[in-house]
Chains A and B, each alone.
Chain A
Amino acid sequence: MTENLITLENISKTYYGAGEPVYALKSVSLQINNNDMLAIMGPSGSGKSTMMNLLGCLDKPDSGTYMFAGQDVMDLDRDQLAHLRGILIGFVFQNFNLIGRATALDNVCLPLIYAGVSSRSKREQRGRKMLSLVGLEGREHHLPRQLSGGQQQRVAIARALVNEPALLLADEPTGALDSRTSEEIMLLLQELNREQGLSVVIVTHESEIGLHCRRIVRLSDGQIIKDEIVPVNMHQAQVQGY
Chain B
Amino acid sequence: MDLLSSLKMAWQSLLVNKMRSFLTMLGVIIGVGAVIIMVALSQGTASGITDRISSMGSNLLTITAGGSSGPIRGVSTARLTNADVEAIRSLPLVKYVAPESSINSATIAAGSATWTTTVDGTSPELQSIKDWPTELGDFFTASDINGMTRVAVLGSTVATNLFKTTNNAVGQTIKINGLSFTVIGVLTTKGSTMGSDQDDIIYIPLSTAQQRLLGSTTVRSINVQAASEEALTPLKDYISTLLRQRHRLAATADDDFRIRDMAEVLSTVQDTTKMLTFLLGGIAAVSLLVGGIGIMNIMLVSVTERTREIGIRMAIGATTRAILTQFLIESLVLCFIGGLIGVLLGWGVAEILSAVASLKIKVAPWLVALSMGFAIMIGVFFGYYPARKAANLNPIDALRFE
Q: Specify whether A and B are partners.
A: yes
Interfacial residues, chain A to chain B (CB-CB below 8 A)? 53, 56, 58-59, 78-79, 82-83, 85-87, 91, 93, 97-99, 101-102, 110-111, 113-116, 118, 120, 159-160, 163
Shortest beta-carbon contacts, A-B, top 10: A86-B317, A114-B317, A111-B316, A79-B319, A82-B319, A97-B312, A118-B2, A58-B395, A91-B315, A114-B318
Q: Is the CB of A114 within 8 A of B315?
A: no
Would you give 25 A-B contacts (Cβ < 8 Å), ordered by A?
Answer: A58-B395, A58-B399, A59-B395, A59-B396, A79-B319, A82-B320, A83-B317, A85-B315, A85-B316, A85-B317, A86-B316, A86-B317, A86-B318, A91-B315, A91-B316, A97-B308, A97-B312, A101-B12, A113-B2, A113-B5, A114-B1, A114-B316, A114-B322, A115-B317, A120-B4
Q: Is the CB of B315 within 8 A of A56?
A: yes
> Which residues of chain B from 1 to 42 have any CB-CB distance to chain A below 8 Å in the complex?
1-2, 4-5, 12-13, 15-16
Please, which residue of chain A has its CB at the minimum distance from the CB of B13?
A: A101
- For B399, what are the chain A residues with a Cβ–Cβ distance below 8 Å? 58, 93, 97
Could you tell me the distance in whole angstroms from the C-beta of A121 to the nearest C-beta in chain B?
12
Please, which residue of chain B has its CB at the minimum distance from the CB of A123?
A: B5
- For B2, what are the chain A residues with a Cβ–Cβ distance below 8 Å? 113, 118
- For B16, what are the chain A residues with a Cβ–Cβ distance below 8 Å? 101
- For A115, what are the chain B residues with a Cβ–Cβ distance below 8 Å? 317
Q: Is the CB of B317 within 8 A of A163?
A: yes
- Give bound CA distance, A56 to B319, whole Å: 15
Any A CB within 8 A of the CB of B309: yes
- Give bound CA distance, A91 to B316, whole Å: 7
Could you tell me the distance in whole angstroms from the C-beta of B112 to the nearest C-beta in chain A?
74
- Give bound CA distance, A15 to B311, whole Å: 20
- For A118, what are the chain B residues with a Cβ–Cβ distance below 8 Å? 2
Any A CB within 8 A of the CB of B314: yes
Could you tell me the distance in whole angstroms from the C-beta of B398 to the nearest C-beta in chain A?
10
- For A120, what are the chain B residues with a Cβ–Cβ distance below 8 Å? 4-5
> Which residues of chain B from 298 to 313 have any CB-CB distance to chain A below 8 Å in the complex?
308-309, 311-313
Q: With contacts A79-B321, A114-B322 known, is A58 near B396, CB below 8 A? A: yes
Q: Is the CB of B315 within 8 A of A110?
A: no
- Give bound CA distance, A78 to B399, whole Å: 16
Q: Majority SS of interface residues in chain B? A: helix
Q: Is the CB of B314 within 8 A of A82?
A: yes
- For B315, what are the chain A residues with a Cβ–Cβ distance below 8 Å? 56, 58, 85, 91, 97
Please, which residue of chain A has its CB at the minimum distance from the CB of B3?
A: A118
- Give bound CA distance, A178 to B5, whole Å: 36
- Give bound CA distance, A200 to B15, whole Å: 37
- For B309, what are the chain A residues with a Cβ–Cβ distance below 8 Å? 99
Q: Is the CB of B312 within 8 A of A99?
A: yes
> Which residues of chain B from 309 to 345 have any CB-CB distance to chain A below 8 Å in the complex?
309, 311-322
- For B316, what are the chain A residues with a Cβ–Cβ distance below 8 Å? 85-86, 91, 110-111, 114, 159-160
- For A98, what are the chain B residues with a Cβ–Cβ distance below 8 Å? 312
Interface centre among B2, B317, B319 (most CB of A within 10 A): B317
Q: Is the CB of B317 within 8 A of A87?
A: yes
- Give bound CA distance, A115 to B318, whole Å: 8
- For B308, what are the chain A residues with a Cβ–Cβ distance below 8 Å? 97
- For A56, what are the chain B residues with a Cβ–Cβ distance below 8 Å? 315
Please, which residue of chain B has its CB at the minimum distance from the CB of A82?
A: B319
Q: Is the CB of B396 within 8 A of A114?
A: no
Please, which residue of chain B has its CB at the minimum distance from the CB of A85?
A: B317
- Give bound CA distance, A113 to B15, whole Å: 21
Known: A99-B312, A116-B1. 11 other contacts (CB 8 A): A58-B314, A82-B314, A82-B317, A97-B308, A111-B317, A113-B2, A114-B316, A114-B318, A118-B2, A120-B4, A160-B316
- Give bound CA distance, A97 to B317, whole Å: 14
- Give bound CA distance, A82 to B324, whole Å: 14
- Give bound CA distance, A85 to B5, whole Å: 20
Interface centre among B4, B309, B311, B316 (most CB of A within 10 A): B316
Could you tell me the distance in whole angstroms from the C-beta of A83 to the nearest C-beta in chain B?
7
- Give bound CA distance, A98 to B309, whole Å: 8
Could you tell me the distance in whole angstroms from the C-beta of B56 to the nearest C-beta in chain A?
65
Could you tell me the distance in whole angstroms from the C-beta of A179 to the nearest C-beta in chain B?
26
- Give bound CA distance, A85 to B399, whole Å: 14
- For B318, what are the chain A residues with a Cβ–Cβ distance below 8 Å? 82, 86, 114
- Give bound CA distance, A58 to B12, whole Å: 27
Could you tell me the distance in whole angstroms from the C-beta of B200 to the nearest C-beta in chain A?
63
Please, which residue of chain A has its CB at the minimum distance from the CB of B400?
A: A49
Interface centre among A59, A91, A98, A114 (most CB of B within 10 A): A114
Q: Is the CB of A114 within 8 A of B12?
A: no
- Give bound CA distance, A160 to B314, whole Å: 13
Q: Is the CB of B1 within 8 A of A79?
A: no
Please, which residue of chain B has its CB at the minimum distance from the CB of A118?
A: B2
Could you tell me the distance in whole angstroms from the C-beta of B400 to the nearest C-beta in chain A?
9
- Give bound CA distance, A177 to B377, whole Å: 48
- For A78, what are the chain B residues with a Cβ–Cβ distance below 8 Å? 319-320
- For B12, what are the chain A residues with a Cβ–Cβ distance below 8 Å? 101-102
- Give bound CA distance, A110 to B317, whole Å: 9
Interface centre among A53, A56, A78, A98 (most CB of B within 10 A): A78
- For A82, what are the chain B residues with a Cβ–Cβ distance below 8 Å? 314, 317-320
Interface centre among A58, A82, A116, A120 (most CB of B within 10 A): A82
- For A113, what are the chain B residues with a Cβ–Cβ distance below 8 Å? 1-2, 5
